Structures are given as C-alpha cells and as structure tokens.
Amino acid sequence: MSDLSAAEAVIFDVDGTLVHAVGPGGLKGAEVIPGAIEALTAVRDGGRRILVFTNGNGKRPDEYVEDLNALGFPVNEREFINPAVVAASWIANEHPGATVLPVGGEGVTAPLDAAGVTHVTAEDGGANAGIVLVGWDETLTYTQLRAACSAVWGGALLLTTSNAPRISVQGGLAPGWSGAITAGIERTTGAEALVLGKPAPQSYEQAAALLETPQERVVMVGDDLEVDISMALNAGAPGVLVLSGTDRRDELDGRWQPTAIVNDVTEVPALLAR
C-alpha cells in the first residue's frame, strides 16, 4: 500500500521515535521528542487506531503505560504492546500446556500469567521446561543461565523477545541486553532462537490483530530499518522511517526501502493526510 492515506491504523515505535530514553531499562526520565505527543494525538483524532510498540520488556506492560502517561502520552493498555505480550500470546496459542522457563523479570512473567501460561524458575525445575523465553533481565545469574542451557540441551524450544544488538537512547546507542543473553545461549547450546519481538512476523500479526485491522493497512512508524521498517515491509505494509533515532538517510543500503522518510514523527500526520 503506497497510498498512506488509505491506512486504517498506525503503530508507533517508542525509543528514537517518540522519546529518547535515559537508558534501556525503561521510560522514566525519558526526553520526549518535541511534538511527538501532539503527533500521536493527531493521528488518533484523525480517526485511525494507534498502537505503541516497544521492544522493551524490562517492566510490566501496565508500568510502561503508566510511564508513557506520566510523559504526557494519552495511551491506554489496549494501545500498548511489546514482545513479552506477543510471546505469551504465541505460546498460549501454539504450545498450549507448555511449561516455560523465563529468563527475565516481571516484564516477561506478567504477560505469561495474563495469558495463563505456566512458568517455572531455575530453582524449581527450570531445566526440565519445554520452552525457554529470553527477555530483559539485568539480574541474570549463572544458575539461571545454566538452567536455560540445560533446558535447551534437553530439547526445549528457545524463544527470545529480541535479538537487537543496539537500541537508541539519549546520547546515542546502548547494547540490547535480551539480544546479548540470547546470543550467549545460542553460542553455548548451538540452538537458534525464534525471535518473537520486532521484526518477527508474529509481532506484526499480533499487533494487527489487536488493532482489528488487516496488516497491509497498518503503517509502522519507527527509527530502525532492520527492526521496524523490515517488519512492516515483510508484512506487505508501509514503513515510515523517522531520522530521530538509530538510522540515518545515508545508511540506506538498498536492503530496506522505507515507504517514506521523515525527519521526525511530527511529520507523520501530514504524511497520512496526503
């Protein structure tokens, strides 16, 4: 769909698109990109559904929404999604009854609970789990890592919320922690993780389902070619690259050609109205 005015819904990335976070752990203290609140509001007031999609999962979804509200973004929990929510829904649908060993904190376990997915810890038998789900966990211990690897060696499916090597924060870039943990488990076990966060097709499918809109009529607005734009284009949907975060115009190399390129999110409402 090259005609963006035909879009029925818009997904907004967070870091580098709506805000510049202080660090990768959450949104408290984040710097709102000037005009971002007004842009998001204008898109919604124009009659389009919106969804805020971050690859962050260091907090519970409701905590992310609270942080967004505190920054001035008028979004509710039905308008928020992250990879932990996608993963929990995917596991519940594709592997009903499976036991999950989460390598992550409440940001990973709360969506599992909400989806009715059984999960265990490394201490209470995690090595026997059928699925290992890697998320954000700055308190990772060797016991957890060993249990995760043991489960994978035993045949468990390895899932990850993100394998992104970097994210955009105030002052530049920061390493992706979930990706680093995943890479370590992959290197140790020889397994290849299934990514369920951006840019996985499951993410766009789940986002479109929440928006009750066909994928091809959902516009993705983000700052990362490999994570945001590729996900949309692979789904047959438009991808609008903002130059306020990770990628720059001179970094376009032909692999992913955005439907449109704008300086920042403030240009999106007018772009959709053309």
Tokens, residue 24: 């990768």
Segment (H or E) for 271: helix 268-273
Return d(Cα 65, Cα 46) in angstroms, integer.
22
User: Which fold would CATH assign to domain 4-82+199-273?
Assistant: Rossmann fold (3.40.50)
- Report pLDDT digits (tens) over 121-158: 998 888 889 999 999 888 899 999 999 999 999 999 99
Domain residue limits, the chain: 4-82+199-273, 83-195
Q: pLDDT for 182-209, tens place per residue?
A: 999 999 999 999 999 999 999 999 999 9
Amino acid identity of residue 214, one-letter, is: P
Q: How far apart are CA 78 and CA 73, in angstroms?
A: 14
* Nearest-angstrom CA–CA distance, 252 and 245: 14
Give me the CATH topology for the region 83-195: Rossmann fold (3.40.50)
Which tens digits make up the pLDDT trace of 2-35? Answer: 679 899 999 999 988 999 877 655 677 789 999 9
Answer yes or no: are the C-beta atoms of 37 and 244 closer than 8 Å.
no
Assess whether the region 4-82+199-273 and the region 83-195 belong to the same CATH fold. yes
Identify the pLDDT of residue 253.
Answer: 64
Q: What is the pLDDT of residues 30-60, one digit of tens each?
A: 899 999 999 999 999 999 999 999 988 889 9
What's the predicted TM-score (pTM) here? 0.89
Mean pLDDT over each residue of the chain, to the nearest integer:
91
Quick check: 264 and 33 in contact, CB under 8 A?
yes
- At residue 67, the pLDDT reads 93
